Amino acid sequence: MTRKFNIKYTCQHCGKQTTAETDFGRWMRNHPDLDVVNGIVRTDMDHIILRYKTSLDQRDFQLMMVVEVKERGAESDPCQIDILSFLRQAIERKQLNMYQRVRKDKKGGVGCLQLYSKLNHRWVRFRFFGVFLLQFENTGPANSKWIKWNRQPITEGDLVGLLAMERHPLFIHKNMIEFLRDRHAKDPNPDLFSGDGEQQAA
């Protein structure tokens, strides 16, 4: 049976929590043909962040990441981890090398891609940095005793820098511009949504 919807919206005035499910989401959840017993699972994505202004050596970059937010110290369930991990691996998987192994980018995530911007009607330099877990002890930065990024404690100032993509999301104390300029940057350690077996993927 499909799990009960448990995402709540917290009123900023009275603090009362109510369901945040849309009418369409409720319809999907209650439709018998879309039940988990039929092999269908779904998840939402809390925030897709795009920094569309990043200049380095007269080159403009557009930077993107996905942030999954959990209140009251909650964790992603196994299905959501699998879905978001698949998403990240699919985006990062540029091609296989001659040994049928995933060609990795040394700076973490996908290397610089040329993608077409429908908004700007031109090709842009684009980098995707992955999917990241943001946890609050309560419901947000203002009322939480602690904040965690990929389960690592951070400050509110750290969070602002990460969300502005002024800091690298895998190396939170390193400036993004410094990281993009570093040609000798090493591979980051796998995080929650990376694929453990992607190095040997066929």
pLDDT tens digit sequence for 26-49: 898 889 999 888 888 888 888 999
Query: Is the pLDDT at 128 greater than 50, yes or no?
Result: yes
Is 61 found in the same domain as 10?
no
Q: What is the pLDDT of residue 199?
A: 40
Q: Is the pLDDT of residue 146 over 90?
A: yes
Give yes or no: residues 178 and 190 share one domain. Answer: yes
193 & 175 share domain: yes
Position 118 pLDDT exceeds 50: yes
Of the listed ranges 5-9, 33-37, 81-85, the one predicted with least confidence = 5-9
Tell me the percentage of the chain whose pLDDT exceeds 90: 33
Distances (CA, A) of 18 to 8, 14, 103: 5, 11, 45
Using the predicted structure, report yes or no on whether residue 97 has a pLDDT greater than 60: no
Taking 90 as the threshold, does the pLDDT of residue 140 lie above it? yes
Same domain, yes or no, for 48 and 37? Answer: no
Q: How confident is the model at residue 49, as a pLDDT?
A: 96
Q: Are 184 and 176 in contact (CB under 8 A)?
A: no
Q: How would you classify residue 74: left for phi > 0, otherwise alpha for psi between -120 and 50, otherwise beta? A: beta
Contact (CB, 8 A) for 191 and 185 = no
pLDDT of residue 55: 74
Please tell me whether residues 35 and 48 are part of one structural domain.
no
Residue 59 neighbours by CB distance under 10 Å: 10
- Judgement on whether residues 4 and 61 belong to the same structural domain of the protein: no
User: Do residue 119 and residue 150 come from a single domain?
Assistant: yes
Task: Check whether residue 13 and residue 62 sit in a common domain.
Answer: no
Q: What is the DSSP letter of 166?
A: S
Whether residue 113 sits in one domain with residue 60 = yes
Mean pLDDT of the chain: 79
Query: According to the model, what pLDDT value does residue 155 have?
Result: 97
- Same domain, residue pair 27 and 51: no
| pTM of structure | 0.76
Residues 36 and 71 both lie in one domain: no
Judge if 27 and 122 occupy the same domain: no
What is the total count of domains within the chain?
A: 2
Tokens, residue 58: 């007269």
Provide the residue range defining the domain that includes 90.
44-200
Give the whole-number percent of the chain exceeding pLDDT 70. Answer: 69
* Structural contact between residues 171 and 178, judged by C-beta atoms closer than 8 angstroms: no
Q: What is the enclosing helix (H) or strand (E) of 92?
A: helix 78-92
